[in-house]
Amino acid sequence: MFSKENVFEGLVLMALLAGTSIHSSEFLTGEWSGARQQAHQAGIDFFAAYANDLMGNPIGGQSQGFTNAGSLDTVLTFDLDTIAKIPGCSLYNSICWRSGSNLSDKYIGNEFPVQQLYGGETYKLAELYLQESLFNRCLNLKLGRVCAGNDFIASPLYLRYVSGAINSNPISVFLNTFFSIYPFATWGAYFDFRIHPCLFKFGIYNCNQNIWKNKYHGFNFSFESPQGLMWISEWTYLHNQESNSRGLLGNYTIGGYYISGNAVSNYGYYLQFDQKIYRGLTSWGAFLFAPADRNEFPFFCAAGLIYQGMWASRPGDALCLGMTYGHYSDDMRKTELLAKRNAILGPFASHTQSAEANIELNYWFQATSWLTLTPVAQYIINPKGFGTIQNALVVGIQVSIDL
């Protein structure tokens, strides 16, 4: 029977058999006898990729097991400048097909998923929006079905990790409140403008929880906003990124959001940075804050080091170390203690939640220009924060193929 697992096995086999004949190609399937370039010249770009997180926990957790979570992603972009002579305008569309199961939920029992590809296990329309770039890309606008996580509280560095606590956004903002992340798009508008050395971003998004439901497959186009609207902005100082700069590059960001909920409003703020500290070695960090009386994680932090190009012969490889820490709300703990005093037992009996942490070490191995293998080890500390689940060691590999 045809399944997505068959697709994955077939792609891996193709990758192993491809050999040197397409080693120099940017894609597994090659250049389609020049059709890719012809389409690009006509204003149409197509991109597809498949990735799979194969993970197991041989030690710790509620029990031991192995799962995989996969994602087939396609992107179709129409350059309306080329096609319709509309300067700087393009139409962007992405479609996603996900399958698999969640090791964290099924075997470990921790809060932060160890497989970043898990979520929305079905086929779905992801983003569909118009984009306009003006003044040599110093001003950019998006309007349509968009994901806030692609533009806010994000960094290309986060994509180097396998843990869902980091990739592609620090996870607490998603757990605390409405925050649309790929592949769950919502109606929204976004714009940014750049005045060197600063980048300013602003966005507004429709908070409709129906976008998370797989039964709609991304086609719930309702403008209803039962949870209100999310307003978000972040400002970034672009350190040593002028054309004549000679120092090490860095980015320093401050941001905040507000949700005008129909029942209870919510808000939060965050700080981010990344700084190259030596050749290919970059440090980064993210710190998120939110009120404890309405958020599960009022404090969350993530930090790490990425060393790319440790060996001159392998400039695309990277060694990545990252950690995350999420502190459960003290207000929630007070409620749990009150339940304990009244002999009201929850799923973990009379225990209260404190914090959960994760340490990840992986190696980003750029096998070819289209194949990336990322062996990874994660250590989950105090899963779910109750102190009742054994710390877990997770090992596995992420396979990514540009089709």
Q: Residue 242: is its pLDDT beyond 60?
A: yes
CATH class held by domain 4-402: mainly beta
Is the confidence at residue 198, as pLDDT, over 50? yes
Of the pLDDT bands very low, low, confident and very high (cuts 50, 70, 90), residue 330 is confident
Whether residue 7 is predicted with pLDDT greater than 50 in this model: the reply is: no
Residues above pLDDT 70, as percent of the chain? 89
Distances (CA, A) of 115 to 51, 128, 299, 346, 380: 11, 26, 22, 27, 13
> Which pLDDT band, with edges at 50, 70 and 90, does 246 fall under?
confident
Q: Per residue in 206-238, pLDDT tens?
A: 998 899 999 999 999 998 877 889 999 999 999
Query: Which pLDDT belongs to residue 352?
Result: 81
Beta strand residue intervals within 218-317, DSSP E: 229-239, 250-259, 266-278, 281-289, 299-308
pLDDT of residue 186: 96
Give dist(CA 56, CA 293) in Å, integer.
36
Report pLDDT for 18.
47
- Percent of the residues in the chain that have a pLDDT greater than 90, as a whole number: 80
Averaged pLDDT, 254-264 = 86
pLDDT value at position 135? 92
Domain boundaries, the chain: 4-402
DSSP string, 321-337: EEEEEEEPPHHHHHHHH
Q: Is the peptide bond before 183 cis (omega within 30 degrees of 0)?
A: yes
**Does residue 1 have a pLDDT over 80?**
no
Statement: residue 130 has pLDDT above 60: yes
What's the rounded mean pLDDT across residues 226-253? 93
pLDDT at res. 347? 55
> Is 8 in contact with 15 (CB distance < 8 Å)?
no
Task: Assess whether pLDDT exceeds 90 at residue 345.
Answer: no
Question: 264: pLDDT confidence band, cut at 50, 70 and 90?
Answer: confident
Query: What average pLDDT does this structure show over 326-337?
Result: 77
Contact 15, 27 (CB under 8 A): no
Alpha carbons 140 and 133: distance in angstroms, whole number: 4
pLDDT value, residue 336: 57
CB 119 within 8 A of CB 100: no
- In the structure, what pLDDT confidence band is assigned to residue 21 with cuts at 50, 70 and 90? very low
Q: Are 243 and 272 in contact (CB under 8 A)?
A: no
pLDDT beyond 70 at 296: yes
pLDDT-based confidence at residue 20 (cuts at 50, 70, 90): very low
